[in-house]
Amino acid sequence: MIRTLEDLRTRLGDVRGADRSSGGPRVALVSTLGALHDGHVDLIHEARRRADVVVVSTFVNPLRFRTADETASYPRSPEADERVLRDLGVDVVFAPSVEEFLPAGTATTRVSAGDVGLRYEGRVRPFYFDGVLTVEAKLFNLIRPDVAVYGERDLQRAFLVQRMVRDLDFGLEIATVPTVRTDDGLPVSSRIALLEAADRRAAAKLPRALEAAASNSDLGVDACIAAAQSALMGEQRIALEYLSVVDPATFLPVDEGHRGRALALIAATVGGHRFIDNAEISLR
């Protein structure tokens, strides 16, 4: 368990120097906000499959929240997280304070996510992806991983990180892992446990909406969106924020003439908690 940048550099230097004859071990990074769940466990298993040394960060990034109160209210479970990470055999856990990791606070240099960073999640939270990329870039510089692993629940984040890695020549691989879901189809997240029973039943309609979109993919993009909207009709507990079909190569909305692979994205608030989800569809 490492809490300072200096100790992190020292520990990773020791790790990389342990096998100089073969160029050192392969290092994987799993970047989290803590409050670990089954989705994170899958990311760590994938990281172990791809590398010799697994580093997990558990940093609640204040740059991705609107206010200090939102940052403070994010769920935290450090003792439980440490038990999970020990049981999984994680080699290095990086858990710095905000003061250690961002000594300039929120007035720090930022990485811009560009136009795509202002769409979908970025339209709801225009500061969000700049904050995400800024912290990911700093982690990449500190840890120098060979591969970083992300969940497909937030494909927009994975897309933007991949583009940053390419554009800024970070020289690492970005891997994604399929979304882990509950029995009722919701992507696993720390927010699910906060829902009341009625809100939980309502939230389960979000993946059903994506299934409806996929079922109508042979009728074109407009039919996909209409089918998803119909699946949510009459559910007053769901406040839909966006529902879009995008090209996975650009993350821009597809037009009616698009054929082939596409992604259906959805975000909504249920019981005061935000949920995002996505599904791959094939437009014919």
Residue numbers belonging to the annotated binding site for ATP = 151-154, 180, 188-191
Interatomic CA distance for residues 69 and 90, integer angstroms: 31
Check if the beta carbon of residue 136 is closer than 8 Å to that of residue 165.
Answer: no
Q: Which residues are catalytic?
A: 40
CA 263, CA 178: separation in Å to the nearest integer? 14
Binding site membership: which residues? 151-154, 180, 188-191
Comparing CA positions, the residue from 282, 7, 245, 284 lying closest to residue 143 is 7
For residue 166, count CB atoms less than 10 angstroms from its CB and return exposed for 0-12, middle for 13-18, buried for 19 or more.
Answer: exposed
Q: If you search the block for the tokens 């446990």, which residue do you land on?
A: 193
Rounded to an integer, what distance in angstroms lies between the CA atom of residue 169 and that of residue 193? 39
SS3 (DSSP) at 18: helix
Burial, 171: exposed, middle or buried (Cβ in 10 Å; 0-12, 13-18, 19+)? Answer: exposed
How many residues are present in the chain?
Answer: 284
Distance CA 147, CA 167 (A): 16
Among candidate residues 146, 54, 60, the one with its CA nearest the CA of residue 102: 60
Report which of 37, 61, 48 is spatially closest to residue 88, judged by C-alpha positions: 48
**Token digits of residue 20:** 């100089």
Query: Which is nearest to 151 in space by CA: 277, 39, 245?
Result: 39
- Coil, helix or strand at residue 63: helix
